[in-house]
Amino acid sequence: MATIEEILQVEAIEANIFRGPSYPSYLTRTFGGQVAGQALVSATRTVPEAFHVHSLHGYFLRPGNPDIPAVFLVDRIRDGRSFVTRRVTGVQNGEAIFTMSASFHVLGNEGIEHQDTMPPAPGPEGLRSRAEEQPAHMISVIREWENFDLRVVPRDQLTMTPGLAAQQQVWFRYRHPLPDDQVFHVCTLAYMSDMTLLGSANVIHPDVHPQGASLDHAMWFMRPFRADEWLLYDQASPSAGSGRALTQGRIFNRAGELVAAVTQEGLARTGRNQTLEQQIGKVTR
C-alpha cells in the first residue's frame, strides 16, 4: 500500500488548485481520512509559515473514486493578523465530493491553559493489534491500513465512565518514522482520525451491522504531537437515531497531553444491503 508520505504528496497544478494522488486501494470508495488529509495539505500550502491549523470542519458530499485523483480548489476567505481562513472543495469528474473550512492561528499568543485528565487505559504494548484480531473476510481493511498500528482496548479492560451511552478506546500510531515537520503530523492525524471513530457507536449493538459512512468531520488541534508515536483515541457516541450516529473523540499522547479533539456524524442505517467497507464505516457516503 501507499505510504502516508505518498498519499499526502499533493501537487500544485495552478494558483490555489491542487491535485491529490490516487493509489491502488482495497476499498470500493475513497477513504474519508484520505480526502480530508489531502484537503488540509492543500489549504496549508496557501498559508504563511507563521500560521498553524487549529481547526477544520468538513462535509463528505459524494463517494470518492479511489482509482482517480481528486482536485482541490482553495478559496482564500480571510487573511488576518492572528487568523487565516481557507475553504477547500474536493472535486472528481466535475462534482464536489468534499468541502472543508480550515482556520489557522499565528503561534506565540498567550492565554489561559487547562485540559481534561487523560482517562485510564492499559498501555498499547500489552494489546493485540487490530490486524491480529480481524477475521479472514476483513483482509481488505487490514491491507489498506498495514502502515498503521491500531490496538483496540478490550471491553473487559475498559474503565467505563458513568452516564456515557457508548465508549471505546483505541491506541494508534503510524508504524514508520515520519518527518519532523509538525504540519505533516497534523495532516497525518487528520487521515488517522477517521479510523475506528464511527465504530464507537456500534460497540453496544454487537449484533447489528448498520451501513456506516462518514457524513461530516470536525477537528481541533491543541498541542504539538507526533503521529508516529502512540496516541490514545478516547471515543464516545452520545447519541444515535434516525439512521445517524454522533461520535466524539479525544486524542492524548503518552504524556497525558490532550493534543486533538474530533467530532463526527455518520450514517447508521439498517435494513439495507451493504458492502463490508460500508458496514465498518470506512467510506464516505
Q: Which one of the listed residues 211, 214, 235, 237 is annotated catalytic?
A: 214
Q: Which one of the listed residues 211, 235, 264, 278 is annotated catalytic?
A: 264
Query: What pLDDT does residue 279 have?
Result: 40
The answer to whether the beta carbons of residues 134 and 87 sit under 8 Å apart is no
Q: How far, in Å, CA of 32 to CA of 85, rounded?
A: 22
pTM attached to this predicted model: 0.91
Q: How many domains are contained in the chain? A: 1
Phi/psi of residue 125, nearest 5 degrees:
-60, -30
Q: Which domain holds residue 276?
A: 4-107+127-284
Cα 33 versus chain centre, distance: 5
Q: How far, in Å, CA of 171 to CA of 206, rounded?
A: 21
Q: How far, in Å, CA of 59 to CA of 279, rounded?
A: 20
Q: Is residue 17 part of a domain?
A: yes
Quote the Cα angle for 230-232-236, to 5°: 160
Helix, strand, coil percent content, the chain, rounded in steps of 5? 20, 40, 40
Q: Is 194 annotated in the active site?
A: yes
Q: Is 116 annotated in the active site?
A: no
Q: Is residue 270 part of a domain?
A: yes
CA-based R_g, the chain, Å: 18
Q: Is residue 65 part of a domain?
A: yes
Q: Is residue 115 part of a domain?
A: no
Cα 224 versus chain centre, distance: 17
> Which three three-digit cell numbers place residue 82?
492572528
Query: What pLDDT does residue 285 have?
Result: 39
CATH for 21: 2.40.160.210
Q: Which one of the listed residues 22, 38, 103, 194 is annotated catalytic?
A: 194
Q: Is residue 114 part of a domain?
A: no
Q: Is residue 241 part of a domain?
A: yes
State the sign of the Cα–Cα–Cα–Cα dihedral 93, 192, 84, 246.
Answer: positive
pLDDT in tens, the chain (285 residues): 799 999 999 999 999 999 999 998 888 899 999 999 999 999 999 999 999 999 999 999 999 999 999 999 999 999 999 999 999 999 999 999 999 999 999 988 899 999 999 999 999 999 988 766 655 545 666 778 899 999 999 999 999 999 999 999 999 999 999 999 999 999 999 999 999 999 999 999 988 888 888 999 999 999 999 999 999 999 999 999 999 999 999 999 999 999 999 999 999 998 765 544 444 333 333
Q: How far, in Å, CA of 33 to CA of 25, rounded?
A: 13
Q: Is residue 16 part of a domain?
A: yes
Q: Is residue 117 part of a domain?
A: no
Buried b (16+ CB within 10 A) or exposed e, 230-264: bbbbbbbbeebeeeebbbbbbbbbeeeebbbbbbb
Q: Is 75 annotated in the active site?
A: no
Query: What pLDDT does residue 133 have?
Result: 62
Number of CB atoms found within 10 A of residue 117's CB: 8
The answer to whether the beta carbons of residues 35 and 187 sit under 8 Å apart is no
